[in-house]
Amino acid sequence: MAAERDDSLQSVSVRLDEKNYSYWSYVMRNVLKGKKMWGYVSGAYMLPKNIEEGDAALIDTWEANNAKIITWINNSVEHLIGTQLAKYETTKEVWDHLQRLFMQSNFTKQYQLENDILALHQKNMSIQEFHSAMTDLWDQLAFTESAELKACGAYIEHRKQQQLVQFLTTLRSDFEGLRGSILHHSPLSSVDSIVNELLAEEIHLQSYSEKGIIFASNPYVLAIPSKPFSNHQNKPYTRVGFDECSLCKQKGHWKAQCPKLR
């Protein structure tokens, strides 16, 4: 019979550092909930205080799970952070310490992300690249929001509209026509819903650009004049006297009275 796998040494794929507490805590919280162990962090599962003879097994189970979670946390944080956790004995104490340590800098993180979003412009990026870059910043910012804000429908709607404004105002001027059309949608669209429109417009713009390059590089196009040349343009110009016929070159009459025309 194969030995039961010991997952106490399992580490979360995300390692906690000084910048990613919001994301790390989100991943770790879901891992623990998936294993039905979040109660050890929240305080719902406390170490029994009134020990009776029959409770020894329950205490052993609690201590084993508590140690297992602490090990998971230690395996998923940077070494310098992990050394600070040695003074705590329960999972809840460890979690509360990390929360106090990193949530104090949460406002600083929000400030930096908001500035990064304002500074980001499409420039030479494709629509897909620009959308991915913006979405990454928005997702990081969402991790810094409180659970109360995330549960507020009005706030979520406001955030979607804010993201739409941020995205549209930082597009290249090539998309000015479509941008105006999108802003008149009623109700307003979300960023995700307009990406397909922008991708289609991008393809059209690229097509026109390629045609322009082909025309500009075709030497025959530049050689074609806008108006045809006259057949007389290459003939030399000769001055005719005041009383001289331009047809027979005789003096005494003009071309209209020339005998050769009769």
Instruction: Look at residue 228 and tell me if it is in a domain.
Output: no
Instruction: Look at residue 53 and tell me if it is in a domain.
Output: yes
94 with 110, same domain: the answer is no
25 with 59, same domain: the answer is yes
Instruction: Give the model's pLDDT for residue 255.
Output: 64
Lowest-confidence region among 74-78, 115-119, 224-228, 257-261:
224-228
Instruction: Give the model's pLDDT for residue 124.
Output: 92
112 with 99, same domain: the answer is no
Q: In whole angstroms, what is the distance from residue 41 CA to residue 93 CA?
A: 8
What pTM does this model have?
A: 0.54
Structure tokens at 167: 């995205």
| Domain of residue 49, residue span | 7-103
Instruction: Look at residue 42 and tell me if it is in a domain.
Output: yes
**Average model confidence (pLDDT) across the chain:** 80
Instruction: Give the model's pLDDT for residue 212.
Output: 58
97 with 122, same domain: the answer is no
Q: Are 47 and 62 in contact (CB under 8 A)?
A: yes
Q: Are 117 and 134 in contact (CB under 8 A)?
A: yes
pLDDT > 80? residue 78: yes
pLDDT tens digit sequence for 38-48: 999 998 988 87
Domain boundary among 103, 125, 145: 103
Q: How many domains in the chain?
A: 2
Burial of 73 by CB count in 10 Å (0-12 exposed, 13-18 middle, 19+ buried)?
A: buried
Q: Which of 19-23, 94-98, 239-243 has the highest mean pLDDT?
A: 94-98
83 with 16, same domain: the answer is yes
137 with 48, same domain: the answer is no
pLDDT > 70? residue 6: no
Domain boundary among 193, 217, 241: 217
Instruction: Look at residue 153 and tell me if it is in a domain.
Output: yes
**Cα Rg of the chain (Å, integer):** 39
pLDDT tens digit sequence for 8-35: 445 578 889 877 888 898 899 999 999 9
